[in-house]
A and B are shown apart, each in its own frame.
Chain A
Amino acid sequence: MYFNSKGDAEVTYDAIVVGSGISGGWAAKELAEKGLKTVVLERGRKVEHVKDYTTAAMEVYDWPGNTEESSPETLKDYPVQRRTGYTTRRGHRHWFVKDTEHPFVEVKPFNWMRGYHLGGRSITWGRQSYRLSPMDFEANAKDGIAVDWPIRYDDMKPWYDYVEKHIGVSGQNEGLAQLPDGVYLPPMEMNCVEDKFKKGVAENFGGRMVTIGRTAHMTGPLSHSNDSKRGQCQFRNRCMRGCPYGAYFSSLSSTLPYAEQTGNLTIVCNSIVSEVIYDPETNLAKGVRVIDAETKETRDVYAKIIFLNASAIASASILLNSRSDRFPNGLGNDSGELGHNIMDHHLGVGARADFEGFEDKYYTGRRPNGIYVPRFVNLDKSSEKKDYLRGFGYQGGASRQGWYKVIREMKLGKELMESLQTPGEWTMGIGGFGECLPNHENKMYLDYDNMDPFGMPMIKIDAEWKENELTMRKDMASAAAEMLEAAGGKDVRSYDSIDDNEGKNRAMGIGIHEMGTARMGRDPKTSVLNKFNQIHACKNVYMTDGAAMTSAGCQNPSLTYMALTARAANHAVEELKKMNL
């Protein structure tokens, strides 16, 4: 196997990759495939693909009380992780950290959802994969917000193509300016109520688009490979537990195996990178310091280039903790922007409705995907909103009520047994994903007066939704209701759950798309990373996780992290060849 014992880790590699999640897996694959001896340093435990998906085939009745929910006793260890309402279920709880073991400080409520293990959150992610559009890369410049992206869609397009081809994304091209087409495997199907909704929305809102979700599942063979590393999706919708078929993209199914087959990869688990070691003689980093998660001993690992992929907040914390004479406020922090401009997507707002008709219709397969309503506001003059910038998309779906309906219908005895033979009425819901503006006030920093159990300064997060997001939400609730109503929905209910649990459950972070802590930009005075994700003043350190994001778009972001990573890895290898690093 490709796991290294920690004993011989104190050696020199060509490249270090910190973290093995969505972006780290990509860095490892690209760098190893291009011939660099690459070590992945992963904070969490080792996970073996398939073998360690121990809950994949469990049914509810395999758990006490026939439920996947965790007991209140267990939940005491997950005060933050539990706030989604689903992350702490037994089927996949082991993919999320115990907040009690890995504490951080919420100056304001912040939902930092984390998984520390090989593969990171690539195992549990929702797999929704959308490209940012030309207008997203231009948005900051156009609005005069924060700083301009140093790249445009055209810089990214080949890399989006490249990663989509490799991972396999199921979807439908629609030719939209705000949601670029991609390289897609066959789309999944809409059910009859979703189809009615799609038609109703197009008819009543000037051709507004409803499309099937774009999701990183194999619904057909991959063009690049028939080497049977991966199987096709069986529509079980138990992806978060890990897929025994390797049918959705994760680091374990799709990137690390390719990195491994080059013979250039070493993975060392239980390795908490605490800082990057700066060499003032060369103005480059020479390696990283690692705390062993089990023994708490430290050691140094050296390489020519370093990719930080520990996820936006963790990667920024590593740099903030990398203090030297040259960088007293953290490596690469000449601008003072490191740790600032945290963004996320705000959600938990939308509408639901019942639909009549189609009583004789049903569906088969548990589609691990929903429908998508691409952004339709602030695209041009005609869709311009006076009271907020940017926009939102919706994800959702329709289904027929299952057996639960007999409770509400108050069925008893014989009648109940009969009622259990026919599904209930159709309902449909759509929930918004709204863009969040970068704001210097939304920040994270380190508290050297309080150390965490591993001897690292505690991370403090001080961020909240601001006015633009809160104003947008009103529109997100009412536009959802309008569309359902116009498409023939009955008893339309809009909702906004921002106040649930004293606001904690919908506080920033709940989109699990935290990003922006080391933004890309053209000017070293106002940004941390350049247009190839290099630290402006320390060019052999690349950061290609969500930290790099200059603005957020409203699309799920991980596909963009993958494309940025592949692009940056290509750049790093070119620069090494040119002896520039």
Chain B
Amino acid sequence: MKMNRREVLKTAGLVLGYTITAGSAAAILGGCSADPTPNWTPETLKDDQVKTLEKIANAIVPGTDQLPGAKDVNIAKFMDERLSIYATEEEKTAFQEGYSSFVENHKVTGMSDQEILDLVKSEIENGSDFMKAVHEQSIIGFCTSERGMKEVLVFKPIPSEQKGCVPLEEVGGIWAI
């Protein structure tokens, strides 16, 4: 992450031919705030909710031998922030109610990943808005995370050229941005 910013500055300095002052460098670098915080405390989610949501998200986006999955990107922190900062009161209530009625009927703790996936599928097929949201948020949270963007998608912050039509293999995946 830091590398990319430096890269921006380096190239900008070269192209523009004027020196970017320490102050301006600091301003651009300083734009970068959060490295994934290890000591994170949720604002909205309770401990059991964190555990349940992580378990489901990890099954939905499991990663592979080579690639990271939801477990590697602090997905619950993402979900907590979405809920705490962006959700309206109605959305928050809907989430809490959806969660309660889900855990009344299901206990994911002992389940295998496959069992969880079967459950996710059947819940969504039965019209569960709660599960639809968890599915969606797991994917969004993963694909917008630093590791998801850089290691699973194709990340090129400074493309430097534009070509209208190239063979797919040349890119080799989905553009992260």
Contacts and interface: CB of A to CB of B under 8 A. Distances in A.
A454 interface: no
B34 A362 contact: no
Nearest to B118: A412
Given A231-B12, A412-B117, A66 B144 contact: yes
Contacts, number: 208
Contacts of A66: 78, 81, 140-141, 144-145
A421 B78 CA distance: 23
A72 B83 CA distance: 12
Contacts of B153: 402-403, 420
Interface stretch (A30-38, A187-195, A275-283, A444-452): A187-195
A57 interface: yes
B160 A230 contact: no
A59 B168 contact: no
A324 B34 CA distance: 57
B173 A364 contact: no
Q: Is the interface of A mostly helix, strand, loop or mixed?
A: loop
A58 B31 contact: yes
Interface stretch (A44-52, A129-137, A306-314, A549-557): A44-52
Contact of B165 (A61, A231, A363): A363
B8 A244 contact: yes
Contact of A362 (B9, B21, B135, B171): B171
Contacts of B62: 413-414, 416-417
A61 B86 contact: no
A64 to B, nearest CB: 5
Contacts of A190: 164
Given A244-B8, A244-B28, A417-B69, A62 B165 contact: no
A228 B16 contact: yes
Interface in B94-145: 113-114, 117, 120-121, 124, 135-136, 139-141, 143-145
A60 B144 CA distance: 6
Interface in A59-104: 59-67, 69, 71-73
Contact of B162 (A73, A189, A414): A189
Interface string B48-59: 000000000001
B162 A235 contact: yes
Interface in B23-76: 23-24, 27-28, 30-34, 59-64, 67, 69
B163 A364 contact: yes
B11 interface: yes
Contacts of B20: 50-51
A246 interface: yes
B163 A65 contact: no
Nearest to A228: B17
Nearest to A229: B16
A220 interface: no
Given A60-B144, A189-B165, A406 B8 contact: no
B34 A62 contact: yes
A192 B164 contact: yes
B69 A235 contact: no
Nearest to B163: A364
A420 B85 CA distance: 28
Contacts of A229: 16
A388 interface: no
Contacts of A55: 31
Contacts of A417: 61-64, 67, 69, 152
Nearest to B69: A417
A189 B163 CA distance: 6
Contact of A191 (B31, B86, B165): B165
B175 A423 contact: yes
Contacts of B16: 50, 228-231, 245-246
A11 interface: no
A416 B159 contact: no
A58 B8 CA distance: 11
B128 to A, nearest CB: 13
A363 B27 CA distance: 32
A537 interface: no
Given A56-B8, A66-B81, A236-B157, 12 more contacts: A48-B24, A50-B20, A51-B21, A54-B31, A191-B164, A235-B162, A362-B167, A363-B166, A365-B163, A403-B153, A412-B117, A417-B64
13 contacts: A50-B24, A51-B20, A72-B88, A231-B16, A235-B159, A244-B8, A245-B11, A363-B166, A407-B140, A412-B59, A412-B117, A423-B168, A423-B174
Interface pairs A-B: 5 shortest CB-CB = A231-B15, A365-B162, A228-B17, A189-B164, A51-B24
